Amino acid sequence: MSNNHPQLRAIITRRALPRVLLLFTVALGLAVAPVPDPAAAAPTGEVTIGLAAEPNTFDPHLTVGRNTQIFIVNVYDGLTARDAKGNLVPALATSWRRLNPTTWQFTLRKGVRFHNGDAFDADAVKFTLDRAINPETKATVSSELSTIARTEIVDSFTVNVITKSPDFLLPVRLGELYGLMLSPKHTNAVGKEGIATRPNGTGPFKLVAWAKNERLVLEANEQYWRGAPKVKKITVRPILEDAARIAALQAGEVDLISPIPHVRIADLKRNDKLVIKTVAAPRIFHVTIDVRKPPFDNVKVRQALNHAVDANAIVKSLYFGYGTRLATVVDKGALGYDPTIQPYPFDPNRAKALLAEAGFPNGFETEFDSFTGSIADHAKPAEAIAGYLQKIGLKLKHNVFEFGAFGPRRVANQTAPLFIYSIGNAYLEPSWVIRWLTQGGLGMHYKNAKLDEMLTRIEATDDPKKRAEQYSDVQKLLRAEAPFIFLFQADAVFGMSTRIDYTPRPDETQWLYPLGLKK
Amino acid sequence: MRAYIAARLATAVLVVLGVSIVSFCLTFLSGDPAEIMLPPGATAEHIAKFRAEWGYDDPLLVQYGRFLRRAVQGDFGVSLRHGQSSLPLIAARLPATLQLTVTAMLLAIVLAVPLGVLAATHRGGPLDLLAMGVALLGQSIPNFWLAIMMILLFAVSWGLLPTSGRGGLAHVVMPAVAIAINLMALLTRLVRTTMIEVLAEDYVRTGRGKGLREVIVLTRHALPNALIPLVTVVGLQFGYILGGAVVIETIFTWPGVGLFTIQAILNRDYPVVQASVFILATGVVLINLIVDLLYVWLDPRIRLG
């Protein structure tokens, strides 16, 4: 697999370096606001995009699902943003630093205007964050902003965000994920229903038309503070069916589509009028093990399960090789991913030996839950995993649920001792994923005092370089403890015509600002 | 007649109410919207808070009472996903669905009647065989498969029609054919059977006997009588057509009620699902009522009461 590749380590180091340097610069408040370059070419041309889903709303606090969050950033800006490689970079804030464990100070960019001409300043930040945490807003994203206690205006271009407990992730939260900034005047004027379809952001594009299920039209914001985008008009067509979406690209009706089923990649790559690009998506597949229940309280049993499953074969056969075998639950785009930590090798004999050592030479009876109908396909990998586990002697009862029926079971902690799941690491930060996976609820019960201590130390470290180093030990501990059957992450697949130039981002964001037409 | 219509309308209200109860219970059983609505990082605490805010933690009966109280006022609640009132959201998508289903029905009838008549008048001959072959094929082809094959052939390979979406007349062709094909097959067989029966009637023999031209016998005397059962079947098939439209609208991203409802089901947007079921059920009941009334008008021998 790719993480055995000798070049990868070098790539990771090269990737980490600019990220670290940049953040340091930012933290020191040295970032200089980029000024729109008047000599830059004016936006030209039109591009049509076919997406499986359109946003549910342009109200950043009522977004449902990643599909909305990864799209509406084209109209808004957060205080921070990510660059093409996933590094956190300044956006509406030029710098940020922690004044004390629970106070983050953001210095705001001057001279930024909303699409309607309103000026962006500290009032807008306070208004937006107050709205997000106001119970009356019924924000769907409130869980992600629940650490915020209040926002204080220091001066017109400086705000302090005070958190209830130390939150090292706040600058990421207040970026493209959950920190898209609203204009107070406009938001009050159009009301809650109005903002859903009439957004007024500071982003690179303005929403000019939206007929749900039909088309959504974006127009370049020529006054954008980063400089005008390259394309003047972008039409987004929601095309639900994979086959119809691919057909639209093949027929030349659209220039860019996503997603594409992995099974179609080889066939589409043969078409010289198309370009297919893949990027590792930060969705981490794993099997949760209920470590409280014997025999899963025995680490040897958990290690045996990890040796039993051939995740490489699953990536090869179900994803046609477009995926990455993971050694733990840290994905390869995340901060501090350590490619030197080797995944458990597929070794059924070793698995059987470990089971025998644990006192189960003939295996044991247990249950395994999986489901259909969620955002990603879990049913097919689960079928393969069940087969592998039976081969080492487990008498497995494999329950397949509809996702809507499985969800409440998980919320009520009524899952089988083993269940497949996946988590999208939108924060690109391992601690966020691991905290969630060890929360002690929703069917996840692994606890480890040492791990907790390591994470607490990491979370107190603002310098990403120092955080990254510490994650190696976390990954080693997780691998040895095997509280999950570690699986893989799959690639996201994009198809485009040869007339456009577009590089998909590793955090799934459909950032259309750099999209251009080839000369 | 007036009493009949009143009775039928009363039944219609009961049917729609019954359908609403069933749809309410089914959505309740199909699970909680919280997990789909909230970001992946939501913990049990956040999920509980969400359920309380939207009233999903109340007992079933309390939820149903609330639903019914609002529903009789035409309020199915605010869409969880779109943040807008659900009934107008569905109503706004009705014209697209009607455009598609009515086109499909007309297409099916326009093809089925001549095919059925040809088959009946050439009973046992090669034309009958051909017509019945077409009908059998039309009845056996899964419409979703046909839809994708048409996209590949007419849109991708030949570039004659757009692959999906709604726009000009060209956009409606493939989805309408995909929906029409099964109905066309059914109607062809029906027209053939009734036509054969009617052609054996005394008045047809009389017509022929008094020297009328065969065209007149067929179009003036036989066909109108043969078409009466067609009206019933077309009416009864309306619900079925709407069901087919759900699949076809999804494949072609046709922005109608079906597509919107499927998305609402997948996203557990209950207020939209309930509003949609209400509108579709009302539509089917009304169409059936109209068909029954048409029947009386077409065949004065039938008495209602």
Residue A441: per-residue pLDDT: 85
DSSP per-residue letters across A72-86: HTTT---SEEE-TTS
DSSP state string for B58-101: S-HHHHHHHHHHHHTTT---B-TTT-SBHHHHHHTTHHHHHHHH
Q: What are the pLDDT digits (tens) for B193-226?
A: 999 999 888 988 898 889 888 888 888 888 888 8
How far is it, in rounded angstroms, from Cα A236 to Cα A215? Answer: 6
Q: Which chain A positions have a beta carbon within 8 Å of B81's beta carbon?
A: 56-57, 64
3-state secondary structure of A47: strand
- Which residues does A187 contact at the CB level (< 8 Å), separation at least 6? A127, A131, A195, A200
From A175-179, B86-90, B282-286, the region with the lowest mean pLDDT: B282-286
Residue of A nearest to B262 (CA): A240
Beta carbons within 10 angstroms of residue B267's beta carbon: 21
What is the pLDDT at residue A58?
A: 96
Cβ distance of A211 and B255 shorter than 8 Å: yes
Q: Which residue has the tokens 């099974």?
A: A263
Question: Do residues A415 and A409 make contact, with C-beta atoms less than 8 angstroms apart?
Answer: yes
CA atoms of B218 and B208, how far apart (whole Å): 10
- Residue from A490, A225, A224 nearest A377 by CA: A490
List the one residue out of A341, A368, A358, A342 whose CA is nearest residue A304: A358
Q: Residue B154: closest CA among chain A residues belongs to which residue?
A: A251
Contacts of residue B13, Cβ cutoff 8 Å, sequence gap at least 6: none
| Spatial contact of A172 and B87, defined as CB atoms under 8 Å apart | no
Ramachandran quadrant class, B132 (left: phi over 0; alpha: psi -120 to 50; beta: rest): alpha
| CB contacts, 8 Å: A405 with chain B | 30-31
Stated length of chain A: 519
Dihedral of the CA atoms A283, A288, A291, A293 (nearest 10)?
Answer: 170
Chain B residues lying within 8 Å of A145, measured CB to CB = none
CB contact under 8 A, B43 and A439: yes
Mean pLDDT score, A140-160: 95
Q: What is the pLDDT of residue B231?
A: 84
In angstroms, what separates the C-alpha of B204 from chain A's closest C-alpha?
A: 51
Mind listing the pLDDT tens digit for each residue in B21-31? 888 888 777 77
Contact, B250 vs B262, CB < 8 A? Answer: yes
Q: Is B47–A411 a contact, with Cβ atoms under 8 angstroms apart? A: yes
Which residues in chain A touch residue B253, judged by CB atoms under 8 angstroms apart?
213, 237-241, 244
The pLDDT value given to residue B49 = 86
Tell me what ipTM this predicted complex has.
0.85
Within 8 A by CB and 6+ apart from A498, the residues are A273, A274, A275, A518
Mean pLDDT score, A332-337:
93
Pairing state between β A148-155 and A158-163? antiparallel
Could you tell me if B247 lies within 8 Å of chain A, comparing CB atoms? no
- Closest CA–CA distance from residue B255 to any residue of chain A (Å): 5
Rounded CA Rg of chain B: 24
Is B264 touching A (CB cutoff 8 A)?
no
B38 touches chain A (CB under 8 A): yes
Per-residue pLDDT band at A40 (split at 50, 70, 90): low
Q: Which amino acid is residue A141, in one-letter code?
A: V
Average pLDDT over residues B271-281: 88
Nearest to B35 among A402, A407, A426 (CB): A407
Angle of helix A311-318 versus helix A379-391 axis, rounded to 10: 140
The tens digit of pLDDT for each residue in B75-132 reads 888 888 888 889 999 999 999 999 999 999 999 999 999 999 999 999 999 999 999 9
Buried b (16+ CB within 10 A) or exposed e, A453-488: ebbeebbeeeebbebbebbebbbeebbebbbbbbbb
Provide the shortest C-alpha distance from residue B283 to chain A (in Å): 22
pLDDT for A90-112, tens place per residue?
A: 999 999 999 999 999 999 999 99
Has residue A2 got a pLDDT over 50? no
Give mean pLDDT, residues A463-481: 94
Helices (H), A229-285: 242-250, 265-269
Question: Are B255 and A64 in contact (CB < 8 Å)?
Answer: no
| β-strand partners of A285 | A422
DSSP string computed for B262-297: HHHHHTT-HHHHHHHHHHHHHHHHHHHHHHHHHHHH
Q: Which percentage of chain B shows pLDDT scores above 90? A: 41
Structure confidence at residue A20 (pLDDT): 44
- B118-130 pLDDT per residue, tens: 999 999 999 999 9
Put simply, whether B60 touches A (Cβ < 8 Å) is no
Q: What pLDDT, in 10s, does the model give residues B157-184?
A: 999 999 999 988 999 999 999 999 999 9
Query: What φ, ψ does residue A424 adopt, rounded to 5°?
Result: -85, 120
Q: Give the pLDDT score at A86.
A: 85
Contact A470, A336 (CB under 8 A): yes
Residue A26: per-residue pLDDT: 44
- Given this model, what pLDDT does residue B224 score? 86
Structure token digits, residue A495: 């198809």
Predicted local distance difference test score (pLDDT) of residue B36: 78
Top residue of A48, A64, A237 to mutate, by most chain B CBs within 10 Å, is: A64
Q: pLDDT grade, residue B283 (50/70/90)?
A: confident
Q: Is-contact B257 B276, C-beta < 8 A?
A: yes
Q: What's the rounded mean pLDDT across residues A293-312? A: 97
* pLDDT class of B297 with cuts at 50, 70, 90: confident
Nearest to A69 by CA among B86, B38, B259, B42: B38
Model confidence at A36, in pLDDT bands (50, 70, 90)? low
pLDDT at A3: 39
Q: Does the CB of B44 have a partner CB in chain A at under 8 Å?
A: yes
- Cβ(A144)–Cβ(A257) under 8 Å? no
Q: Is the pLDDT of residue A34 over 80?
A: no
Question: How many A/B residue pairs have CB atoms within 8 Å?
Answer: 136
**pLDDT band, residue A37 (cuts 50/70/90):** low
∠ CA A82-A85-A89, rounded to 5°: 30
Residue A263 scores a pLDDT above 70: yes
Asked if residues A151 and A125 have their Cβ atoms less than 8 Å apart, the reply is: yes
Mean of per-residue pLDDT scores for chain A? 91
Tell me which chain B residues have a C-beta less than 8 angstroms from the C-beta of A193. 83-84
Tokens of residue A321, six digits? 């090789």
Q: Would you call A213 and B53 a contact, using CB atoms and an 8 Å cutoff?
A: no
Indicate yes or no: CB of B44 within 8 angstroms of CB of A423: no
Query: Cα separations (Å) of A384 from A283, A318, A319, A392?
Result: 19, 10, 13, 13
Q: What is the pLDDT of residue A65?
A: 82
Name the residue with higher pLDDT: A476 or A372. Answer: A476
From CA A384, how far away is CA B216, in angstroms rounded?
Answer: 68
User: B83 and A248: CB-CB below 8 Å?
Assistant: no
Q: Return the higher-pLDDT residue of B246 and A122.
A: A122
Q: Which of residues 184-243 of B touch A (CB under 8 A)?
A: none
Q: What is the pLDDT of residues A478-505, one digit of tens each?
A: 999 999 999 999 999 999 999 999 999 9
Q: How far apart are CA A457 and CA A449, in angstroms?
A: 12
Q: CA-to-CA distance for A215 and B255, rounded, in angstroms? A: 10
Greater confidence (A262 vs A508) lies with A262
Element holding A168 (H helix, E strand): none
- Please state, in angstroms and as integers, the Cα–Cα distance from residue A78 to each residue in A120, A156, A203, A342, following that order: 12, 17, 9, 37
Out of B83, B163, B255, the one facing A192 most closely (by C-beta) is B83
